[in-house]
Amino acid sequence: MTNGRQPPLSVPEQFGFELGRLSRWWRSKLDERMKPMGLTQARWIVLVHLSRGADGLLQKEVARFVGVEGPTLVRILDWLERNELIDRRTSPTDRRGKTVHLTDKGKAAMSEFDRVAAELREDLLQGIDPETLQTCISLFRTIRHNGDHVAHPTANSSAEEMDRHAP
């Protein structure tokens, strides 16, 4: 390396880099489209998770489900509750804990989110045939499976859990 330049990235390095960039870019595009509703990425991610399996869980379980720390989630939930998208109720099994529930207004917001997300998918996946998309999905699942079973052979597989709750 006499010219001070880095060697070109290998194909696997490029793949990881591009995959990360695409994921962040896609979410930012969805975030742009949700801003008119006052829903930042942090807020709509919580609503998505509530609508896809976390509704009625304790706050600490919602935090784990969403993948954020408790104090971060509390700030998000405070905003969502002030805007009547969720309610927090005393847990019937743990009086110290609060369960989190989507309100009717929150369900309506999720219907709008689903509509906007479908439009974005249609725009971004235009011209890509379903077979190619299925190949990509299979590839992503294989990579997650490898990560779950090679890097952490004793960990429970999170790939299936993520599939059930993805936006």
Residue 135: inside a domain: yes
Q: Is residue 91 domain-shared with residue 49, that is, in the same domain?
A: yes
Q: Is residue 133 domain-shared with residue 122, that is, in the same domain?
A: no
Residue span of the structural domain in which 159 resides: 128-167
Report d(CA 104, CA 107) in Å as an integer: 5
CATH number of the domain that residue 69 is part of = 1.10.10.10
Which residues pair with residue 88 across a beta bridge?
100
Residue 140: inside a domain: yes
Q: What amino acid occupies position 111?
A: S
For the segment 14-71, what is each residue's pLDDT rounded down to a tens digit?
999 999 999 999 999 999 999 999 999 999 999 999 999 888 999 999 999 888 998 9
Residues in the chain: 167
Phi, psi dihedrals of residue 65, rounded to the nearest 5°: -60, -45
Q: Is residue 85 domain-shared with residue 162, that is, in the same domain?
A: no
Residue 38: inside a domain: yes
The predicted model scores a pTM of 0.75
Q: Is residue 115 domain-shared with residue 36, that is, in the same domain?
A: yes
Q: Judge contact between 47 and 113, C-beta under 8 A.
A: yes
Q: Is residue 145 domain-shared with residue 116, that is, in the same domain?
A: no
For the segment 109-152, what is each residue's pLDDT rounded down to a tens digit?
999 999 999 999 999 999 999 999 999 999 999 999 999 887 55
